[in-house]
Amino acid sequence: MGVFAKPAIAIAFGAFMFCAETCLHAEDLFNAAAAPLDLPYYDWTAAGFLLVAGVLSSRDWTDTRRQYQAVAWGFMLSLLVGAFLATLSDWRTPPNDSEWGISEAGFLAIILGLMVVALCGLVSTIKARQP
């Protein structure tokens, strides 16, 4: 089994993405009554799906559980590609001051790195065999 196909990687990545999106939208959580549609429900869904698929796969690595994990990686990858393309269009505009102190190019590199991990997770999970 490839390193990225391991259920622990799916669990860790899903937990990281869930926490990252929650922290990124922390201000929106306090204003949820005013704008409930501004919350990242799709990101939380993908992160939760990856977490659950990783937990199920860690208990019993069957073909069905592996398929759940592959679908979860694919879902996460699709959201990261969308975020990368949206950030790429922002990167092409004149720079503005960031609240975090991270440049737009740095943020684009972070998203690209997350995309690579998700792609490796997807490919490794698809290629993995039962132990």
pLDDT in tens, 37-72: 778 889 999 999 999 999 988 887 777 888 899 999
Looking at 49-53, 87-91, 117-121, which range is the least confident one? 87-91
Mean pLDDT of 106-122: 93
* Average pLDDT rounded to a whole number, residues 94-114: 78
Q: What is d(CA 129, CA 2) in angstroms, rounded to the nearest whole number? A: 9
Question: Please, where are the H alpha helices in 1-131?
Answer: 7-24, 26-30, 41-59, 63-91, 104-127
More confident residue, 53 or 104: 53
Query: So what's the pLDDT on residue 97?
Result: 59
The answer to whether the pTM exceeds 0.95 is no
Confidence category of residue 31, pLDDT binned at 50, 70, 90: confident
Of the candidates 97, 93, 128, 98, the residue with the CA atom closest to the CA atom of residue 4: 128
